[in-house]
Amino acid sequence: MTTAEFTVQRSWKSDRRSPLLWLWSHIRRNWIWIFGVFFGALANALLAGAPAVLAGQAFDTLLADPSSTTFLLRTAFLIAITQITRGLLQVARNFSAELIGQRLERDTRDEMYGSLMGKSMQFHDSHPAGDLMARATNDVREMNLMFNPGLNLVVGSASFLLVPLIAAPRINPWLVLAPIAYLLLYIIETWRYLRELNPATRSVREEFGNMNTTLAEAIDGIETVKGAAQELRETDRFRRSLATWRTAFIWQGDIEAKFIHLLLLGLVQTAALALSLFLYERGQISVGDVVTYNGLMLLFGFPTFVGQFAYSQVSSGLSSARRVLEIIDEKTALDENVGGYDQPMRGALVFDNVTFSYAGMPTLENVSFSVQPGQTIAIVGQTGAGKSTVAKLINRIYDVNSGRVLVDGVDVRDWDLAALRRQISIIEQDIFLFSRSVSDNIAFGCQDADRDEVEAAAHKAQAHEFILNFRDGYETEIGERGVTLSGGQRQRLALARAFLTDPQILILDDSTSAIDSATEDRIQRAIEEASRGRTTILITHRLSQIRWADQIVVLKKGRIAAIGTHEDLLQQSEAYRNIFASYE
């Protein structure tokens, strides 16, 4: 069973054993509209054959009695009625197909979004955001187009193929030969066509994802690109990616150009005309029968002309469904552990011989320390020592490879994941803010907070004053990732967000690095106030914060070099003295 950190509860469950079964599990929920598509397609085909039958009858009648103008008018009236009815049924059929396609897109997009929310950070670290966006948007859209117009036209084509096959023997048994021959050739050629087309459409979808990844990376890192004056190089890189996608698209176009059904149609219709004239010369059918039969053979034109587009759309949709299902089905390292331990947290923390490797690279090795509820511990070390990894193991962003991380004496893997994370707040140096109002960003972890609570948290984080200087105050919209704010403003908003959630374990991962000294003094007092009664983990190079920690853990190359107070470590630990000296 696929694990997930988060699961959307639905009244239905999709069948993920294969892309086809997955699609069918979504489509079959619209069975009334499926009936509308099939009924509309069959009725459309039958009524499309009505003019040929009525015209044949008119020919025989007029040849027998040239003065039968009344019959001719009645025939014209019937043809008009059948085609108007056909048009109305066609509207109903297209409406049904469009509705199913839109619902398919909506439901699969919803399922994929929920799946992405439930994936672990290891999953997201290993998948480019641009490719995920391409799958969640363009590929899901292709699945909609696969059904309408793709499958809608395929169903309609099948109905048009069956009508001559059913009607021809009623005229003369020999006349069924041409429809049967064409149907067999059509099936064989379509099977060959799809076998060649499927790898091409799959390549087009994959290369589109790669192109989107290149574009997303350039946009996301536009400041770095401009700062290094690499616009031309990045433009060339995108152009190469675009050329690769174009090559795949041309490959698909080359295959579509080999759609020889049109040639087969011309040959079969010629043979059908010759056969019907031969039977007429033998006196086995009438002129009206010849007209009706060849009129029915013209129905093969619809599935032939639309097939090139329809089958390409279906193939592209199936390739997209395969790409989307790959992401949904990919196993993730963590699970939400519903029903796990979910009691109010006291804040006791123990690292018990913890070892962790990321992407095969050792990060922590045999790390052990403990923190009592309400204590403050500082974790220090040179860059790459594993400090931030410690924080990410506490709230299960990652899981240890061996050993245990205990919160209140319970392994974090035995906690209900949502309950664990709700009571732990991490503020990192790289602050992420959403393109929403200031108030919404502060209340992100506590959605039911009122304005007074939001402002109180902002006051604690020393953010209230600069927020009021914005044009719309707390309702000011923040640019994507908070680019309209300074580094210090972003970090103070993150602090306000943490204060509002009132966590039992507060982790500050170099969270005051972008704050000036004057502001730091005010925030330091706020942090000291917020730390009372809760466990606080400080990952910092600020000596003013390190000094007031109850305990300091010194990491060196993923191992614990020393543990103690600031004064003790200055006397006993050379590694700490080196860090201390480097900070000075």
467-485 pLDDT tens trace: 888 888 889 888 766 777 8
| Helix (H/G/I), strand (E/B), else coil: 560 | strand
pLDDT in tens, 141-153: 999 999 889 899 9
**Measuring CA to CA, which residue among 150, 152, 138, 151 is closest to residue 320?**
138
| Mean pLDDT confidence for 209-234 | 84
- What average pLDDT does the chain have? 86
Q: Which has more confidence, 59 or 542?
A: 59
- In sequence order, what are the residues at sequence separation of 6 or more whose Cβ sits closer than 8 angstroms to the Cβ of residue 60? 286, 287, 288, 289
pLDDT(512) > 70: no
pLDDT value of position 222: 79
Return the pLDDT at 36. 92
Residue 188: pLDDT band by 50, 70, 90 thresholds?
very high
Query: Which whole number is the average pLDDT over 193-215?
Result: 90
349-583 falls under which CATH superfamily?
A: P-loop containing nucleotide triphosphate hydrolases (3.40.50.300)
Identify the pLDDT of residue 243: 93
- Residue 269 pLDDT > 50: yes
Max mean pLDDT among 17-31, 332-346, 512-526 falls in 17-31
Q: Does the pLDDT of residue 522 top 70, yes or no?
A: no
What pLDDT does 330 receive?
A: 83
**Is 557 in a helix, a strand, or coil?**
coil
- The number of beta carbons lying within 10 Å of the beta carbon of residue 304 is 23
pLDDT at 13 over 80: yes
Q: With 50 as the cut, is the pLDDT of residue 1 above it?
A: no
Lowest pLDDT segment from 158-172, 231-245, 509-523: 509-523
Is the pLDDT at 168 greater than 60? The verdict is: yes
Percent pLDDT > 70 in the chain is 93
The secondary structure element, H or E, covering residue 23 is: helix 19-27
- Whether the predicted pLDDT of 564 surpasses 80: yes
Residue 248 is predicted with a pLDDT of 93
| pLDDT over 90, % of the chain | 34
Average pLDDT over residues 318-335: 86
The partner residues of 428 in beta bridges, in order of sequence, read 509
- Domain boundaries in the chain? 19-329, 349-583
Under CATH, to which class is 19-329 assigned?
mainly alpha
Q: What is the mean pLDDT of residues 494-509?
A: 85
Residue 411 pLDDT class (50, 70, 90 cuts): very high
Q: What is the mean pLDDT of residues 374-392?
A: 85
- Burial of 417: CB neighbours in 10 Å, binned 0-12, 13-18, 19+: buried
Q: What is the pLDDT of residue 145?
A: 92
- Asked whether the beta carbons of 409 and 352 are under 8 A apart, the reply is no
- Inter-CA distances, 288 with 48, 196, 269, 284, 378, Å: 17, 42, 17, 12, 97
| pLDDT for the residue 267 | 92
302, 291, 316, 301: which is closest to 269 by C-alpha?
A: 301
**CA distance to 13, 68, 123, 584, per residue, from 141 (Å):** 21, 55, 24, 56
pLDDT at residue 466 in the model: 87
pLDDT band at residue 355, thresholds of 50, 70 and 90?
very high
Equal CATH topology for 19-329 and 349-583: no
Burial class (CB in 10 A: 0-12, 13-18, 19+), 5: buried
Tokens describing residue 201: 């459409």
Q: How confident is the model at residue 67 (pLDDT cuts 50, 70, 90)?
A: confident
pLDDT band at 307 (very low <50, low <70, confident <90, very high): confident
Q: What is the mean pLDDT of residues 493-501?
A: 84
Which two three-digit tokens encode residue 78?
Answer: 């019937």
Model confidence at 574, pLDDT cuts 50, 70, 90, reads: confident
